[in-house]
Structures are given as C-alpha cells and as structure tokens.
Amino acid sequence: MKKNIYSILRGTFLVSDDAFKNWRAIIFISVLAIIMIASSHSVDQKVYEIAKINNEIKELRSAFVEERSKLMQLKMESHVVKVMAEKDIHPSVNPPQKIKVKKQDN
C-alpha cells in the first residue's frame, strides 16, 4: 500500500512500460474536465443574460403601466374640458339631438 502511494506521488506510473493506458485515461479525464468547465461557463452566461432580460421586461412593463395611466388621465372628460377651455372652446349647453331620416319610396 505504501509502495503504491509513493509510486503515484513520484509519477512512476506515467513512465513505466504500460504507461500508455494511464496516459489515455488521464487525457480522457482532462478532456471531460475541459468540456465540463466550458459547459459551466456557457450556462453561467445564459443565466446572466436571462436575468438581464427579466430586468428589462420589468422596466418595460412599469413604463407601459405608467404611460397607460397617463393616457387614461388625458382621456377623462374633466381634463378634455379644461384643455378646451384654455383654447376658448366650451361644451355645449344643449344636449345633442338625434336626426331621423325617413326613406322615401319611389
């Protein structure tokens, strides 16, 4: 057991006669580690992008709600009357009347 640990620490398993099997395993494990690290970085980048887009969605939604409330204020009759009064246009005192057109048979 002690001899095996010393051989691993000294690296004799890499230069011995059957070291080719060991090098294949080491290279395979290294490639897998590199792929795993690249995948992790890719996932992190996507998570940051999703968070950024979510923040942008929240900002746009709040701007939409704000503009919609401004529009509702502008459409109110009291606001329209006030704006028209500034232009010296006042609402009619008489209510509107329906005009009925009768068809004539020819």
Give percent of the chain with pLDDT exceeding 70.
98
Domain boundaries, the chain: 2-86
**Scanning the structure block, which residue is given the tokens 């246009």?**
89
Q: What predicted TM-score, i.e. pTM, was given to this entire model?
A: 0.56
* Long-range pairs for 64-67: beta carbons < 8 A, 24 or more residues apart: none
Per-residue pLDDT, 106: 65
Question: What is the Cα Rg of the chain in Å?
Answer: 40
CA 42 to chain centroid, in Å, comes to 17
Query: Average of pLDDT values for 54-78?
Result: 96
For 78, half-sphere exposure in the C-beta direction (CA atoms, 13 angstrom radius) is 2
* Long-range pairs for 83-89: beta carbons < 8 A, 24 or more residues apart: none
| Cα four-point dihedral sign 19, 24, 30, 32 | negative
